[in-house]
């Protein structure tokens, strides 16, 4: 199945290595805990529980949605990971019931929904399960066209005596989408890990939220609440249900 059609493909390919080299989630956990107002909280694309487990340790009730059973297995193997209820499904559908004080989608994961319609579906469905005044928190990078210096890019990721890894990108600017392929060559053969994103600028995300009945109440450059500027490379945005 195509990387554009299979929401669980990323997890199946990356689950075993996902926790390596990713940012420390401590500042995100602090930020989200402050907003949770006692919970319950919902994490879309809960993954290996890097954020959900520390929040649960603070006494919050956390639920999750995750398309990859491999990612869920990684979380279940961690202390407390078997206590968090997770629905297996596409995060754009938000296939859960109940009202949540907080929902969140961090680490650029909104962009893993690779077309605008599914991103809009995600906002609409989150609005459905938020309690009045509840918050939906998004963290994404701010696209920089200067980094898309060509339609195709090749990067050398690692070279050893036994293997070599390269990463290739191909951009579709009109669709605001790219496909990335990470290729490792070693004695066992050629290993492919495809990945795709549909990126959006903050104002486009705001428009999706507004159409879903959510309003932007806060925006920061990072989890430490530094002011968001025109040249900020990322944003943390808080949307609330009226």
Residue 15 confidence (pLDDT): 55
Using one digit for the tens of pLDDT, what is the confidence trace for 145-156?
877 766 677 889
Buried b (16+ CB within 10 A) or exposed e, 20-47: eeeeebeebbebbbebbeebbbbbbbbb
The pLDDT assigned to 1 comes to 47
At residue 166, the 3 state secondary structure works out as: strand
Largest CA distance in the chain: 58
The whole-number pLDDT of residue 6 equals 60
> What pLDDT does 199 receive?
95
- Residue 173 has phi, psi (to 5 degrees) of -65, -45
Report the CATH number of the 152-197 domain.
2.20.25.570
Residues of the chain within CATH 2.20.25.570 domain(s) are: 152-197
Question: Do residues 242 and 213 make contact, with C-beta atoms less than 8 angstroms apart?
Answer: yes
Question: What's the pLDDT at 39?
Answer: 82
Strand partners for 190:
185
Contact of 151 with 170, CB cutoff 8 Å: yes
The region that residue 59 occupies, defined by phi over 0 for left and psi between -120 and 50 for alpha, beta otherwise, is: left
Q: Nearest 10 degrees: CA dihedral of 128, 86, 37, 50?
A: -130
What is 89-116 written as a DSSP string?
S-GGG----S-EEEEEE-TTGGGGS-SH
- Residues of the chain within CATH 3.40.50.150 domain(s) are 3-143+200-241
What CA–CA distance (Å, rounded) separates 51 from 30?
A: 10
Backbone angles phi, psi at 135, to 5 degrees: -110, 140
Residue with tokens 């392929």: 181
- Name residues of the chain where pLDDT drops below 70: 1-21, 149-151
Contact 78, 105 (CB under 8 A): no
What's the confidence (pLDDT) of residue 35?
A: 95
Class at the top of the CATH hierarchy for domain 3-143+200-241:
alpha beta
* pTM of the predicted model as reported, rounded to 2 decimal places: 0.89
């Amino acid at each position: 199945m195509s990387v554009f059609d299979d929401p669980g493909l990323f997890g199946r390919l990356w689950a075993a290595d996902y926790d390596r080299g990713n940012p420390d989630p401590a500042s995100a956990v602090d930020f989200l805990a402050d907003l949770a107002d006692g919970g319950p909280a919902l994490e879309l694309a809960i993954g290996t529980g890097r954020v959900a487990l520390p929040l649960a340790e603070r006494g919050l009730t956390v639920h999750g949605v995750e398309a990859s059973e491999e990612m869920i297995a990684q979380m279940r193997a961690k202390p407390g990971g078997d206590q968090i209820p997770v629905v297996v499904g596409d995060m754009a559908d938000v296939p859960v019931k109940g009202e949540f004080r907080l929902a969140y989608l961090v680490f650029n994961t909104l962009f893993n929904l690779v077309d605008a319609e599914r991103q809009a579906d995600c906002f609409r469905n989150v609005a459905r399960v938020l309690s009045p005044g509840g918050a939906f928190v998004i963290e994404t990078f701010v696209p920089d066209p200067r980094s898309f210096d060509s339609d195709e890019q090749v990067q050398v990721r690692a070279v050893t005596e036994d293997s070599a890894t390269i990463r290739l990108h191909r951009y579709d600017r009109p669709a605001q989408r790219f496909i990335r392929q990470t290729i490792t060559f070693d004695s066992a053969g050629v290993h492919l890990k495809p990945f795709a994103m549909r990126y959006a600028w903050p104002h486009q995300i705001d428009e999706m939220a507004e159409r879903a009945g959510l309003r932007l109440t806060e925006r920061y450059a990072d989890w430490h609440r530094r002011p968001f500027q025109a040249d900020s490379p990322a944003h943390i945005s808080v949307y609330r249900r009226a």
